[in-house]
């Protein structure tokens, strides 16, 4: 049981490049989330999904897109990376009935130069 | 929008000391959560509580709903307790959490 996994763990992009971050969970959780964590700020929600085929915007969705084609996977895309998107990205998942008990992935450290 | 504030932002203590980290929020909630983020970055849930007190090993979490305040206590602190402790709140019918900015705890041997 791997829990929540994220790939890649580290990435450096040039401004304007695109990339996709993959989150996978093997706990059959309905809900999945993408957060970013920046120094001095709390975790901020980018997008989330309440089930396969559904997505919704969070607090800071601009510049990101997401897809949840399979229940176990939640993809976060950056179409044209900007230096402001330099951050640590965390994926999380939870059961419907226990939203607060989110299981987090190990994080992806992204640097945009 | 619920505002979540934690204090202190940073805390350094000697091994064995009793530690208290505070969290306050602005709007009524359905539950409050404490999470731990270790230096390596991994985040784990410690407690979810909606009233009273919960205990797990040397960690104790309390909440006062009327005062919109929660505390996380660590007894007999140990260097391995060094981490960032994050408070978060959830609301009825809402799939999302609102997070505080975290308290960085350092325990010196």
Residue A89 touches chain B, beta carbons under 8 Å: no
| Nearest chain B CA: its distance from A80 CA (Å) | 26
In the block, tokens 């929600």 appear at A45
In the block, tokens 């402001």 appear at A84
Higher pLDDT, B92 or A42: A42
Nearest CA in chain B to A40: B101
Higher pLDDT, B97 or A113: A113
| Nearest chain A CA: its distance from B45 CA (Å) | 6
| Nearest chain B CA: its distance from A5 CA (Å) | 11
pLDDT in tens, B25-63: 988 888 899 999 998 778 999 999 989 999 999 999 999
For residue A42, give the nearest of B31, B42, B99 by CB distance. B99
pLDDT in tens, A46-88: 999 999 999 999 999 999 999 999 999 999 999 999 999 999 9
């Amino acid at each position: 049981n791997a829990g929540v996994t994220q790939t890649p763990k580290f990435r450096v992009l040039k401004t304007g490049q695109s990339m996709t971050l993959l989150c996978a969970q093997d706990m059959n959780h309905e809900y999945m989330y993408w957060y970013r964590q920046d120094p001095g700020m709390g975790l901020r929600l980018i997008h989330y999904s309440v089930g396969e085929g559904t997505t919704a915007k969070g607090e800071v969705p601009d510049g990101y897109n997401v897809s949840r084609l399979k229940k176990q996977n939640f993809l976060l895309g950056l179409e044209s990376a900007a230096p402001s998107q330099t951050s640590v990205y965390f994926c999380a998942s939870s059961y419907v009935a226990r939203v607060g008990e989110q299981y987090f992935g190990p994080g992806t450290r992204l640097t945009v130069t | 929008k619920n505002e979540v504030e934690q204090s202190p932002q940073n805390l350094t203590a000697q091994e064995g000391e009793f530690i208290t980290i505070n969290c306050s929020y602005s709007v009524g909630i359905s539950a409050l959560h404490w999470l731990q983020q270790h230096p390596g970055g991994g985040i784990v849930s410690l407690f979810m509580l909606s009233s009273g007190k919960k205990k797990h090993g040397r960690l104790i979490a309390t909440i006062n709903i009327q005062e919109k305040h929660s505390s996380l206590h660590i007894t007999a602190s140990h260097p391995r307790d060094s981490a960032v402790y994050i408070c978060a709140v959830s609301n009825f019918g809402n799939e999302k959490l609102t997070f505080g900015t975290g308290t960085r705890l350092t325990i010196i041997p």
